[in-house]
Amino acid sequence: MSQVLHTPPPTPAPAPADDDLAALAARHGLSVSGARPTLGEYIGQLWARRHFITAFATAKLTAQYSQAKLGQVWQVMTPLLNAAVYYFIFGVLLGTKQHVPDYIPFLVTGVFIWTFTQSSIMAGTRAISGNLGLVRALHFPRAALPISFAIQQLQQLLFSMAALVVILLCFGVPLAPSWLLAIPVLVLQFTFNAGVSMVMARLGAKTPDIAQLMPFVLRTWMYVSGVMWSIDKLTKKDHLPHLVTIALETNPAAVYIDLMRYALIDSFHASQLPPHVWAAAAGWALITGVGGFIYFWKAEETYGRG
Amino acid sequence: MAENLNDKSPAGIPTVIADSVDIVYRVNGTGAGRGTATAALNRMLRGKKVEKAAGVRKVHAVKKVSFVAYKGEAIGLIGTNGSGKSTLLKAVAGLLPVENGHIYTDGQPSLLGVNAALMGDLTGERNVYLGGLAMGMSREEIKERYEDIVDFSGINEKGDFITLPMRTYSSGMGARLRFSIAAAKDHDVLLIDEALATGDRSFQRRSEERIRELRKHAGTVFLVSHNNKSIRDTCDRVLWLERGELRMDGPTEDVLKEYEAFTGDKKPKPAAKPPAPARTAEQPKAAVSS
């Protein structure tokens, strides 16, 4: 650094007065760089990038297992192994299966549907903070990232659903027209997941520590969502305070899980569903989907800072 | 009146205006507390007012920089390491928020670089598509230019490498493909950060040619480089940043002459190396105020 001593005195460039520059910019119709677009423009930009969003999701999904010897087989193996572990603990060791008919289809549906929500939220939390390189290098509406991760999880779930169909048929659950209900359930659940992901992405971008906390929150949420036990068995016993019953029944994860079981498993009857279940499913999707998107957009220009 | 602030006034149409821009980075967990649990707790409990005490350091990377760039200009950004060149470029691209002042731009300036969007586990072919989409090209546009991109990168000169995962490429091959993808799009305002340093000599020549071509299509090109030769070859105006301040702004030759005297590249001054007093030698490059 010795050369610092021998430099000629700094010759600052003639800096024009501030208002001149602002006026010059205004006269030639220049816009402020990096300003947040209006909500309408933002949706337009997002739509223009739809191919990037899906391509990024597919690329992430394919890259996930590309180093493994079995490759894409893990897409199906991972959820199946998960279900096997829960079956061993809750079905065999704790004996929940005596209370629930078709316990394996019941459990596996629960695990797969829950995993969809869980991993979308986890991926959403890291969507911005884990991709700062991308955010700092390229210009695109940032909501593309959490949405793309939610789509990746949806693709992952479709693999799991293929495995689920095989399991259901193996355990003698008949193919029925009600299986078509799985489609609206998945659409609503996806909207809900994407909404929560966007909220978590904004929180995680500001405070990366949240990613450390989320596994605990999510595990608690899983245990109260009736993934391995039937919520209606508990709520119909009448010994719970009313508020707890309502909370258990309107819990979005439980709503989507029970709806999917209702759609796929013939021994899971409508009477086991919480009241107003479709309204709850649609309401959660609408509120979190729209709310999450607006909440995320409000901080659009701050992502990638510091 | 504002037009004749710059001798490029015949060109007339400004594309980028920086109006006394300040850029400040905040870094957690440094300084006195140095990331201990108590410092973090302190920071959370007492909020922003104790940023200093709790070990949040502010790095003032760019200070009061003003300039006007016009259509058809190629502007070089020079300065020693850590002088704020890349930071300024990112702010022009709208990727870093400014602390004070404004940056006005015509259209959306783009940074030449797609590295972050590419995935090593995917084949080169899929990365061409992914990178193109990430830059905002349509699938049709990419399909149209796919052959050009691959040919330009020269990846397939030594066999069919484009269908192998990118992680299997040598670092030179990877850099060439990345540059080829990034350079495939035409931009209004193009920002280039040290891109010319990649690949072997023949690829560098092709890159320089491509940059000149891009400049013809682009309104304005900014180039950050430590290679004074590539600045001379491509730029007609140079901004010299030192410690975040704009030290000089003028025609390439004038500024580079001063800069070379400053860094001691050519014509070292007679008394070039007396022992520097400790105080000056220890001065940090980026102004840091904690």
Cα B248 from Cα B246, distance rounded (Å) = 6
pLDDT at residue A19, as a whole number: 64
Q: Is residue A28 part of a domain?
A: no
Count of other CB atoms within 10 angstroms of residue B232: 14
Beta-strand (E) ranges in B127-236?
189-193, 220-224
What is the extent of the structural domain holding A152?
37-299
pLDDT at residue B158, as a whole number: 78
Q: Is residue A306 part of a domain?
A: no
Q: Which residues of B touch A136 (CB under 8 A)?
A: 90, 95-96, 116
Q: How far is CA B83 from CA A1, A7, A133, in A?
A: 13, 16, 21
Cα B260 from Cα B237, distance rounded (Å) = 16
What value does the mean pLDDT take over residues A207-211?
A: 87
Q: Is residue A5 part of a domain?
A: no
Q: Is residue A301 pLDDT above 80, yes or no? A: yes
Return all residues near A55 (Cβ < 8 A) that are at least 6 apart. B129, B130, B133
Identify which has the larger pLDDT, A33 or A102. A102
pLDDT at residue A306, as a whole number: 54
Task: Compute the nearest-CA separation of A191 from chain B (Å).
Answer: 23
For B256-266, letters b (16+ CB in 10 Å) and e give bebbebbbeee
Q: How far is CA B68 from CA A13, A20, A51, in A?
A: 11, 11, 36
Angle of helix A74-86 relative to helix A103-125, nearest 10 degrees?
Answer: 120
Identify which has the larger pLDDT, A279 or B173. A279
Which of B66, B92, B248 faces A21 most closely, judged by CB atoms?
Answer: B66
Q: What ipTM does the predicted assembly reach?
A: 0.77
pLDDT at residue A67, as a whole number: 78
**B289 touches A at CB < 8 Å:** no
What value does the mean pLDDT take over residues B175-197?
A: 79
Are B247 and A11 in contact by the 8 Å Cβ rule? The answer is: yes
Q: Is residue B288 pLDDT above 60, yes or no? A: no
Count of other CB atoms within 10 angstroms of residue B89: 21
Which of B96, B122, B134 faces A63 most closely, judged by CB atoms?
Answer: B122
Identify which has the larger pLDDT, B33 or B198. B198
Q: Is B194 exposed, middle or buried (0-12, 13-18, 19+ CB in 10 A)?
A: middle
Q: Is residue B24 pLDDT above 60, yes or no? A: yes
Cα A285 from Cα A192, distance rounded (Å) = 4
Identify which has the larger pLDDT, B188 or B42. B188
Q: Is residue A187 part of a domain?
A: yes
Listed ranges A170-174, A291-295, B14-18; the one with the highest mean pLDDT: A291-295
Q: Is residue B184 pLDDT above 90, yes or no? A: no
pLDDT digits (tens, 9 = 90+) for A242-287: 888 888 888 999 999 999 999 998 888 888 888 888 999 999 999 9
pLDDT at residue B265, as a whole number: 63
Q: Is residue A99 part of a domain?
A: yes
pLDDT at residue B195, as a whole number: 59
Are B247 and A12 in contact by the 8 Å Cβ rule? The answer is: yes
Q: What percent of chain A has pLDDT over 90?
A: 43
Q: Is residue A275 part of a domain?
A: yes
The answer to which of A66-75, A103-112, A245-254, B157-166 has the lowest mean pLDDT is A66-75
pLDDT at residue A33, as a whole number: 73
Q: Is residue A121 part of a domain?
A: yes
pLDDT band at B275 (very low <50, low <70, confident <90, very high): very low
What value does the mean pLDDT take over residues A49-55?
A: 93
Q: Is residue A214 part of a domain?
A: yes
Residue A21 backbone dihedrals phi, psi, to 5 degrees: -65, -45
Are B72 and B220 in contact by the 8 Å Cβ rule? The answer is: yes
Identify which has the larger pLDDT, A120 or A15. A120
Q: With a CB-CB cutoff of 8 Å, which residues 90-109 of chain B face chain A?
A: 90-98, 102-106, 108-109
pLDDT at residue A50, as a whole number: 93
Q: Chains A, B: CB contacts under 8 A, how many?
A: 193
What value does the mean pLDDT take over residues B104-118?
A: 78
Mutation for testing the B interface, residue in A4, A33, A131 having most B CBs under 10 Å: A33
Q: With a CB-CB cutoff of 8 Å, which residues 119-178 of chain B face chain A?
A: 119-122, 126, 129-130, 133-136, 138-139, 165
Task: Judge: A55–B246 Cβ closer than 8 Å, yes or no.
Answer: no
Number of domains chain A contains: 1
User: Under the phi-then-psi rule, with left for phi > 0, alpha for psi from -120 to 50, and beta for the rest, what region is B81?
Assistant: beta
Q: What's the maximum distance between 2 C-alpha atoms anywhere in chain A?
A: 88
Q: With a CB-CB cutoff of 8 Å, which residues 234-253 of chain B face chain A?
A: 239, 242, 245-250
